[in-house]
Every structure is written in C-alpha cells, then in structure tokens.
Amino acid sequence: MAGGFAKDGAVQDQIDATVEDAVKRVRDQLAQGESLTHCDECNKPIPEARREAVPGVRLCVPCQAHQDAKVKIVSGYNRRGSKDSQLR
C-alpha cells in the first residue's frame, strides 16, 4: 500500500533504480582495453599477475589504493520521479 502521491510498489521501484544507478556508475569506472605494463602515475612496473587479474589496469596497487581513497562516496538515495522522496 502506497501513501501520498506514490503508486503501489513505488518504494521498491526507487530501491531498484538506486541499485541500477550504482551498478552503472561502477561499471562506467572499470578500465577498458589492454593493460599497461607500467603505472600511469609512478611509472613502476605492474606485475603480470595484476595485469591478468584486472584487464585494462592502468595503475599499480599502491597508486590504485591512493586513488580509491580519494573517491567521494555518492549518496545512496535516488531522488528521481517520486513526490514522496522529494518531500522528505
């Protein structure tokens, strides 16, 4: 049962849209193409095992960890298309 302006199942639709957006955002960030043999940042060699495990890798493990630490966490709320969510 939905309340306000929302249709039945609106909460689940909003959860599904949030999950789909998060998956799309992460997939868009995945490296593509051939792996590099040397890191883009520090120019140190990237081990072959890493290049095979992560296709399209561009950074060594320490540089990747540093870059991952800088990534801003995006809100987990999907605010599109629901008047109920806009009122909260």
Q: Where are the domains of the chain?
A: 33-73
Mean pLDDT (the chain, rounded): 80
Q: What distance in Å separates the CA atoms of residue 80 and residue 88, rounded to the nearest whole number?
A: 13
Q: What distance in Å separates the CA atoms of residue 84 and residue 7, rounded to the nearest whole number?
A: 10
Distances (CA, A) of 15 to 19, 22, 52: 6, 11, 35
Q: Which residues contact 62 (CB under 8 A, 6 or more apart)?
A: 42
Tokens of 76: 């987990």
Task: Tell me the pTM.
Answer: 0.54
Looking at 5-71, list the stretches that DSSP marks H as alpha helix, in order from N- to C-terminal side.
Answer: 10-29, 48-53, 61-70
Q: Which residues contact 24 (CB under 8 A, 6 or more apart)?
A: none
Q: What is the mean pLDDT of residues 73-80?
A: 58
pLDDT per residue as tens digits for the range 5-46: 667 778 888 889 999 998 998 888 777 789 999 999 999 999
